[in-house]
Structure 1
Amino acid sequence: MAKRRAVGNPLALAVLSGLLLEPMHPYEMGRRLKETGKDRNIKYNRGSLYMVVEQLAKAGFIAEQETVRDTARPERTVYALTGTGRAELYDWMRELVAEPEHEYPRFGVALSLLGVLDPAEAVELLGRRVVALDREAAEITADTARAKEQGVLWVFLVEEDYRLALLDAERRFVTALIDGLTAPEYVRAWQDAFGEGKPWSGEQ
């Protein structure tokens, strides 16, 4: 079972990981998240980033190291990882890597209730999903290829390989599901259960 974290936002994990390399101010943290493409997996904005930094400082995971001043930019506080923060980072990472967790994806909810849709409509909608999956996979493949050409080490792109694997698995699942939904025996069973004039038929 996952631990209850003092700061449980995934963005906090990215901040701790970034500070493992060197002290930074929040603006620099955000810039590096974008440069490395981590913002594709960890959603944030400037406000949420600063809020997480404050929470981590309050928890004792990071600490102010210095305040940087120059004439072109406003004052900026540089933060460093504390010993407690380093321990939290590694403990959290080990948990995430080793322990599967059910995340209740929205598509899973839809699948659990798929039987309420007319089979023909469900097939049409799932076909649109396959097209969207293919488009997303193509975009990831192109982005990854560009990153590799720029010399990015493969381990820093492994989350994109994971996304591609998930997309491929989902595509194969959805394709098989479409075959099942078009089977005559399923169509007849659906009509018997949810056909015209029956509950969940869509009529008001």
Structure 2
Amino acid sequence: MAARRKLGNPLALAVMATLGERPMHPYEIAQVLRQRGKEQSIKINYGSLYTVVQNLEKHGFVEVTGVQRQGNRPERTLYGLTDAGREELHDWLSDLVAVPVREYPSFEAALSLLLVLPADEVVGLLTERVAKLEVQAAAVHGVLARLRRDLPRVFLLETEYQVHMIEAEAAWIRAFLDDLERGAVSGAAEWRQWQATGEMPDTWSGIDDLTRDGAAARHFREELGKLTPPS
């Protein structure tokens, strides 16, 4: 199980990782993160970044190492990573890489409640989603192509993963829509019946009992428990 952290903002992790290279002022941290394309996976804005740096300092993970003056510009405070910060960075990142955590994405929540909508309307909505995912994937591929001209692959792994997940989602939706069109989705006929009549199909009348007390449901929950990552 992942440890409970004093800070949970991914931007704090990115700040510590960047300061692990050398002391920087917050504006420079933001510049480095953006130059490396990290805004594709981490929300970066100057206001929240300054707050994150202050919180990291409060918990002893970063410290003031000096000031920097360039020309007529105001002095800028330089921050560096402390020993405690290096330990926290290592442990936090190790947990994130090794320990799956159950998340609750909004699309997954929508799928769990999909029966509320008419099946034909769902087909249209999912078709629209696929088109938008395709545009999104193309945009990320474009970003990757630009970044690959300047950065080694090891700096771009999260963007590769992001586009892979977008394309995987689109592929799953296409397969589901194809199954639905072929009549290969069990329960689809009852779904349409329910939407047409407003009455629960007879074949679903005992479904709540199955999910609460049935042996098959218990077995399913047991198997699901083995697969579901701990929170």
TM-score by length of 1: 0.91
In the alignment, what sits opposite 2:194? 193
In the alignment, what sits opposite 1:94? 94
Give the conservation status (yes or no) of the 8 Å contact 1:120–1:182.
no
Q: Which consecutive unaligned segments of at least 5 residues does structure 2 have?
A: 201-231
Aligned partner letter, 2:155: F
- Measure the CA separation in 1 of the matches of 2:57 and 2:108: 37
- Measure the CA separation in 1 of the matches of 2:22 and 2:10: 19
- Measure the CA separation in 2 of the matches of 1:68 and 1:178: 58
Aligned partner letter, 2:135: R
Q: Which consecutive unaligned segments of at least 5 residues does structure 1 have?
A: 200-204
Q: Structure 1 residue 141 and structure 2 residue 141: aligned? A: yes
Q: Secondary structure at the match of 2:64?
A: strand
In the alignment, what sits opposite 2:79? 79
Give the conservation status (yes or no) of the 8 Å contact 2:40–2:159.
no
- Measure the CA separation in 2 of the matches of 1:191 and 1:120: 9
Give the conservation status (yes or no) of the 8 Å contact 1:68–1:78.
yes
- Measure the CA separation in 2 of the matches of 1:191 and 1:136: 31
In the alignment, what sits opposite 1:2? 2
Give the conservation status (yes or no) of the 8 Å contact 1:66–1:77.
yes
Deviates more, 1:62-71 or 1:165-174: 62-71
Q: Structure 1 residue 157 and structure 2 residue 156: aligned? A: yes
- Measure the CA separation in 2 of the matches of 1:156 and 1:172: 26
In the alignment, what sits opposite 1:50? 50
In the alignment, what sits opposite 2:11? 11
In the alignment, what sits opposite 1:202? none
How far does the alpha carbon of each residue in 1:171-193 deviate from its partner, in whole angstroms, 9 at most, with x for none? 11111221233344755311322
RMSD: 1.7
Give runs of aligned pairs for residues 51-130 of structure 1, distance below 5 A. 51-130=51-130
* CA gap 1:72/1:103 in 2 versus in 1, 3 angstroms: farther
Q: Secondary structure at the match of 1:195?
A: helix
Q: Secondary structure at the match of 1:78?
A: strand
Aligned partner letter, 2:116: V
- Measure the CA separation in 1 of the matches of 2:153 and 2:160: 9
In the alignment, what sits opposite 2:28? 28
Cα offset, 1:136, TM superposition: 1.1
Matched residue count:
198
Cα offset, 1:68, TM superposition: 2.2
TM-score by length of 2: 0.80
Give the conservation status (yes or no) of the 8 Å contact 2:61–2:84.
yes
What fraction of aligned residue pairs are identical, expressed as a percent? 44
